[in-house]
């Protein structure tokens, strides 16, 4: 593909910034100036500025235009290390992960001053006003919406709206294929129950979302942790090796976009290799794609399901990370397992409540959706930048961090002496809740990592919390090194 014009121009200005020709705090040429100088359209000039802004090189100041940003102090930190793909793969049954997680969650139940353990944005970043209005008007239009038995199969308008949204990630599907679930977590449960039986082995990314490990444990499945790059996602080589070694892998579960907790995005070529590898070994591929709409910029990455011609991919996603954390609307496209998944869904929890389904259908169909998503991505990007700057400023210099291209969190590698459990406990004493790395694997491999939420607008309070966290980590490092 040809590089679009705006990107060519953007690269030109980028090198001007990097070489110091344009210096931090200086004003970027105005949009009008750019149009004249390069003889380009308004849209191209705007795209140019927005792209540089999205990459963190410009900042927009109200009524003054774009300015070159102060270089992020983040650059002082080393990026995340690649995993050793040759290391021994350990097929561990996750008996116990739930207890580990429960203990952490139970401790974190008490009201804290700053909660950095969440995996969603702050409530104010979501369209609460529009949703409230939608709820009120739906209840006015349908007086017995709350007291009428839910019609079977899921709300047709929501299924149609989701089928349309699937086009954003390159999936062409019919509304009738969409199964609505209670969150993405129910979709994962149904997908795993459809393809595996207790005792079977499931290949997962390492580190991975502890919620998935709990699902596996609760279904009596064994997790096989596959090394995963913080930049390009699951290691295809390591997975291939695992498939050759373990004959009883019954599914592979990946989060190809903004992996939780790594934030990695798989290159399209990797996705296709993964798809073919799974097809070749006749192993179902479960794609958890709850975060892709939170990727920086306006281009949402393409789902693996896009290339799936045999129905071997079960696509799972949800709306609570992107529209309404207070609603539990997930959805899935189950490929070859459509009938089985629909049966399990019916037998497990029946259908989702009508009001929530209709709210989401109306919102997705409205012009609010795109506008909200654009704003949410921008907010999250600013917040991630601020949080990353705080990590760079307050955490020990041995800290490692790669900036994800979107999402609601940072995956921070502390100096190797640190224990996330100890940091968790110490932070909780200071009324700060974090998500310790030890939750993200059954091994202790990630015990010196933290997942830090970037969902809330940066504030003095957050800044204080990050400074406190930095002190805690530095103290630990010293004490343990001593």
Give 188 or 462: the residue with its C-beta nearer to a second copy. 188
Rounded (10°) angle between helices 42-54 and 5-18: 50
Helices (H) and strands (E) in the chain, counts: 15, 16
Name which of 208 and 356 has its Cβ closer to a second copy.
356
Rg (CA), the chain: 23
The answer to whether the CB of 65 falls within 8 A of the CB of 27 is yes
Interatomic CA distance for residues 136 and 120, integer angstroms: 25
**With respect to a second copy, which residue has the nearer C-beta, 185 or 317?**
185
Question: For residues 288 and 184, is the Cβ–Cβ distance under 8 A?
Answer: yes
Taking the C-alpha atoms of residue 350 and residue 240, their distance in angstroms, rounded to an integer, is 38
- Site membership for a second copy, residue 174 (CB under 8 A): no
150 lies in the site for a second copy, by CB under 8 A: yes
Question: For the residues of 176-242, what is the DSSP string, one character each?
Answer: GGEEEEEHHHHHHHHHHHHH--TT-EEEEEES--HHHHHHHHHTTPEEEEEEEETTTEE-HHHHHHH
Please list the alpha-helical segments (H only) found in 299-367.
338-349, 354-365
Report the residue number, 272 or 365, with the smaller CB distance to a second copy: 365
Q: Give the interface segment with a second copy, choosing from 46-54, 84-92, 98-106, 474-482 (CB under 8 A).
A: 98-106
* Residues 82, 225: Cα–Cα separation, whole Å: 15
Three-state SS at 143 = coil
Of 258-277, binders to a second copy (CB under 8 A) are: none
Q: Which of 71, 280, 343, 461 binds a second copy (CB under 8 A)?
A: 343
- Residue 337 makes CB contacts below 8 A (sequence gap 6+) with 191, 194, 195, 284, 314
Q: Does 58 bind a second copy (CB under 8 A)?
A: no
Alpha carbon distances (Å) from 94 to 107, 218, 223, 246:
21, 9, 7, 17
Our finding on whether 436 is near a second copy (CB under 8 A) is no
CB-side neighbour CA atoms (13 Å) of 295? 19
Question: Is residue 113 at the binding interface for a second copy, with CB under 8 A as the rule?
Answer: no
Binding pattern for the stretch 73-92 against a second copy, x by CB under 8 A and - elsewhere:
--------------------
Any contact of residue 96 with a second copy (CB under 8 A)? Answer: no
Q: Which of 22, 104, 161, 215 binds a second copy (CB under 8 A)?
A: 215
Q: Are 278 and 284 in contact (CB under 8 A)?
A: yes
Site string for a second copy, 116-135 (x = CB under 8 A): --x-x--xxxxxxx-xx--x
152 binds a second copy (CB under 8 A): yes
53, 177, 205, 217: which one binds a second copy (CB under 8 A): 217
Among residues 353, 398, 431, 464, the one that binds a second copy under rule CB under 8 A: 353
**The one segment of 10-18, 192-200, 244-252, 292-300 that binds a second copy by CB under 8 A:** 192-200
* Binding segment (CB under 8 A) for a second copy, from list 143-151, 246-254, 296-304, 397-405: 143-151
Is 288 one of the binding residues for a second copy (CB under 8 A)?
A: no
Q: Of the listed pieces 31-39, 180-188, 248-256, 298-306, which binds a second copy according to CB under 8 A? A: 180-188
Quick one: residue 254, left, alpha or beta (phi over 0 = left, psi -120 to 50 = alpha)? beta
Total site size for a second copy, rule CB under 8 A: 61
Binding part of the chain for a second copy, among 16-24, 79-87, 209-217, 392-400 by CB under 8 A, reads 209-217
Does position 143 bind a second copy by CB under 8 A? yes
Quick one: which of 335, 374, 219, 367 has its CA closest to 204? Answer: 219
Which 301-340 positions form the footprint of a second copy (CB under 8 A)? Answer: 324-328
CA distance 118 to 261: 11
Rank residues 221 and 418 by Cβ distance to a second copy and give the closer one.
221
- Judged by the rule CB under 8 A, the positions of this chain that interact with a second copy are 98, 102, 105, 109, 118, 120, 123-129, 131-132, 135-136, 139, 143-150, 152-153, 182-183, 185-186, 189, 193, 197-198, 211, 214-215, 217-218, 220, 324-328, 343-344, 346-356, 359
């Amino acid at each position: 593909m040809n590089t679009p014009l705006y990107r060519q121009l953007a690269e030109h200005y980028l090198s001007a910034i990097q070489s110091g020709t344009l210096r931090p705090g200086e004003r970027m040429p105005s949009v009008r100036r750019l149009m004249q100088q390069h003889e380009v359209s308004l849209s191209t000039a705007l795209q140019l500025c927005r792209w540089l802004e999205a990459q963190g090189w410009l900042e927009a100041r109200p009524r003054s235009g774009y300015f070159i940003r102060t270089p992020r102090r983040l650059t002082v930190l080393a990026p995340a290390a690649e995993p050793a793909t040759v290391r021994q793969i350990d097929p561990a049954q996750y008996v116990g992960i739930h207890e580990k997680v429960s203990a952490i969650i139970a401790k974190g139940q008490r009201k804290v001053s700053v909660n950095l353990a969440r995996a969603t944005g702050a409530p104010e970043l979501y369209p609460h006003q529009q949703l409230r209005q939608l709820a009120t008007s739906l209840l006015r239009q349908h007086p017995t919406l709350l007291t009428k038995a839910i019609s079977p199969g899921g709300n047709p308008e929501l299924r149609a709206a989701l089928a349309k949204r699937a086009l954003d990630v390159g999936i062409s599907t019919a509304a009738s294929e969409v199964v609505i679930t209670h969150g993405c977590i129910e979709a994962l449960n149904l997908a795993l129950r459809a393809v595996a039986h207790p005792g079977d082995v499931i290949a997962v990314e390492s580190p991975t979302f502890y919620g998935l490990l709990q699902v596996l444990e609760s279904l009596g499945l064994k997790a096989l942790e596959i090394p995963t790059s913080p930049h390009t996602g699951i290691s295809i080589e390591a997975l291939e090796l695992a498939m050759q070694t373990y004959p009883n892998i019954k599914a592979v579960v990946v989060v190809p976009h903004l992996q939780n907790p790594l934030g990695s995005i798989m290159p399209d070529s990797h996705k296709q290799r993964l798809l073919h590898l799974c097809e070749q070994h006749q192993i179902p591929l479960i794609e958890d794609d709850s975060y892709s709409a939170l990727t920086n910029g306006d281009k949402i990455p393409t789902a693996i399901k896009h290339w799936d011609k045999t129905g071997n991919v079960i696509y799972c996603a949800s709306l609570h990370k992107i529209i309404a954390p207070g609603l539990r609307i997930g959805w899935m496209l189950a490929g070859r397992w459509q009938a089985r998944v629909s049966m399990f869904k019916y037998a497990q929890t029946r259908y989702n409540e009508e009001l929530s389904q209709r709210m989401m259908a109306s919102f997705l169909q409205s012009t609010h959706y795109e506008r909200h998503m654009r704003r949410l991505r921008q907010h999250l990007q600013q917040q991630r930048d601020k949080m990353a700057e705080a990590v760079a400023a307050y955490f020990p210099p041995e800290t490692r961090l790669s900036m994800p291209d979107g999402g609601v969190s940072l995956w921070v590698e502390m100096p190797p002496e640190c224990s996330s459990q100890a940091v968790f406990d110490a932070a909780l004493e200071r009324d700060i809740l974090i998500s310790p790395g030890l939750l993200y694997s059954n091994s202790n491999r990630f015990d010196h990592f933290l997942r830090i939420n970037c969902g809330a607008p940066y504030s003095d309070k957050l800044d204080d919390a990050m400074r406190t966290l930095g002190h805690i980590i530095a103290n630990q490092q010293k004490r343990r090194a001593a």
